Every structure is written in structure tokens, then in C-alpha cells.
């Protein structure tokens, strides 16, 4: 959850204790849990019976505080493998018993855990990782943006460029150029929306309510990099 939304929920429910958690079924459910007073934007601390290791995606080097990498987990309740899928089991569960979550994140000096993105959704620009959620948080701050998803658009120049799919709040207007400038004014150069902005009536969702990013990736293939201000209707 975005820090801004986290704060908004707390303000809207002043008599309610709002705590966030992170979990994965491969590790047996909940992996982290916030305590009252923990930092806004974090997912809390590793549970007492669990272990966390953060490694570099490319080299698998163990990482320290504030270094973003893949989250690996151990607990007494981790899975023994996926049913009838030995290849996926080998890819997820290593020989030392660590579960590769496929999630990117980091921990701070106090040990609080922060989730950044899914590895498969990260955009690579000029050798740098760009997290879609970072761009989405900036775009979501605009009062005319109802929902947003940032995906990769393949480029012959920089490997990949960020492309934003946006739905508008009913009755409010914003242009693609305005959103492109909003990101440019708040993020580093390699995170700019060189893939452009495409407006949809609504974003596709999975049966569980998550944004269907695979569908958006397929849709992105229909756009070219120099058409950064086209409005598209489903």
C-alpha cells in the first residue's frame, strides 16, 4: 500500500488500529507483521519463527540495510514443493531450503521490511531497475487519476521504457503531457515516462481484483514509443 494511502486509512479510522502484513503461501502464510507505531509504508518485522535474507537479483550476493533485492524466506512451515511441478519447485525452493519469493524489497536499520515490486514487473532502463510502483505512486497523487498501472515497453534505445495506463476520476480531466511532466519533475531521468501515457475507460483486473498486468503488457505492444500522448479507449 502506498504511504499516502496508508496515512489516509489511519486518519479515516481514528478509533481503529491499522496494521499491515506481508505473506506468501509458500512460506506458510504471514511472514511479517506491523506493530503499533511502526513506520508508515513498511510491512513490519519478520515474525519470530521466520527468517529473511535479501539477495542481489543478478549475483545472489547477500545485501544489507536499504539495499533492494529479492526476498528469500525460511520458516518451520515452508512448502516441500509444488504439486506435480518439479521444475517450478526447483526454481522457487533452493538447495538450502530458502523460498525465493519473486518479490523485491529491503529492510531498514531497525529491521522493518519494505516491499517494492515483483521482479517480473521491474523495468530495466540503461541497466538500472525501475520499479513500477514508484512511478505509480507519483501518478496516483494527481487528483484526476483514478487508477494507474505502469508496464514496460520495449525500446531499441534503452532496452525498455515505462508506459503508464491510466483511468480518470469521473468529471476530472488531465492530459498525458501533464502526467509525463509530473513524473519528470519528481523522479530521476531514467524513470521518466518515455513510453508515454495511455488512457483507458477501465483497467483489466483478475478474478482476485488485482490489475491484470499481463493483459496490459500485450496491449502495450500495440503502441510505439513516439506516440506518447495518444488516448486509447477499450
Beta strands in the chain (DSSP E): 21-24, 29-33, 45-46, 51-55, 69-74, 99-107, 113-118, 123-125, 128-130, 145-155, 159-168, 197-199
Q: What is the pLDDT of residue 110?
A: 96
For residue 72, list its beta bridge partners: 53, 100
pLDDT in tens, 128-152: 889 999 999 899 999 999 999 999 9
Cell numbers for 147: 487508477
Which of the listed CATH numbers 3.40.50.2020, 3.30.300.30, 3.30.43.10, 3.40.50.1100 matches domain 123-232?
3.30.300.30
Q: Has residue 121 got a pLDDT over 60?
A: yes
For residue 162, list its beta bridge partners: 152
Helix 176-184 × helix 132-140 angle, to 10°: 120
Percentage of the residues of the chain whose pLDDT score is greater than 70? 93
pLDDT in tens, 181-222: 999 999 999 999 999 999 999 999 999 888 999 999 999 888
Which of the listed CATH numbers 2.115.10.20, 2.30.38.10, 1.10.150.530, 3.30.465.10 matches domain 3-119?
2.30.38.10
Helix 132-140 × helix 3-12 angle, to 10°: 50
Contact 19, 33 (CB under 8 A): yes
pLDDT confidence band for 1 (50 / 70 / 90): low
pTM across the whole model: 0.76
What ranges do the domains of the chain cover?
3-119, 123-232
For the segment 161-168, the average pLDDT, to the nearest whole number, is: 96
Amino acid at each position: 500500500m502506498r504511504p499516502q494511502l496508508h496515512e489516509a486509512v489511519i486518519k479515516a479510522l481514528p478509533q481503529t488500529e491499522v496494521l499491515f502484513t506481508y505473506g506468501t503461501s509458500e512460506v506458510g502464510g504471514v511472514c511479517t507483521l506491523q506493530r503499533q507505531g511502526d513506520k508508515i509504508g513498511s510491512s513490519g518485522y519478520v515474525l519470530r519463527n521466520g527468517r529473511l535474507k535479501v539477495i542481489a537479483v543478478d549475483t545472489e550476493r547477500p545485501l544489507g540495510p536499504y539495499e533492494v533485492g529479492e526476498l528469500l524466506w525460511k520458516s518451520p512451515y515452508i512448502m516441500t514443493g509444488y504439486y506435480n511441478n518439479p521444475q517450478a519447485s526447483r526454481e522457487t525452493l533452493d538447495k538450502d531450503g530458502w523460498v525465493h519469493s519473486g518479490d523485491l524489497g529491503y529492510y531498514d536499520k531497525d529491521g522493518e521490511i519494505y516491499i517494492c515490486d515483483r521482479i517480473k514487473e521491474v523495468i530495466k532502463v540503461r541497466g538500472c531497475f525501475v520499479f513500477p510502483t514508484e512511478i505509480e505512486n507519483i501518478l496516483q497523487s494527481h487528483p484526476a487519476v483514478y487508477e494507474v498501472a505502469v508496464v514496460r515497453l520495449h525500446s531499441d534505445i534503452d532496452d525498455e521504457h515505462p508506459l503508464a495506463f491510466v483511468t480518470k476520476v469521473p468529471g476530472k480531466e488531465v492530459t498525458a503531457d501533464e502526467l509525463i511532466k509530473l513524473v519528470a519533475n519528481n523522479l530521476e531521468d531514467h524513470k521518466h515516462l518515455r513510453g508515454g501515457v495511455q488512457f483507458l475507460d477501465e483497467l483489466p483486473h483478475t478474478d482476485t481484483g488485482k490489475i491484470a498486468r499481463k493483459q496490459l503488457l500485450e496491449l502495450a505492444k500495440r503502441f510505439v514509443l513516439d506516440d506518447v500522448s495518444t488516448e486509447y479507449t477499450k
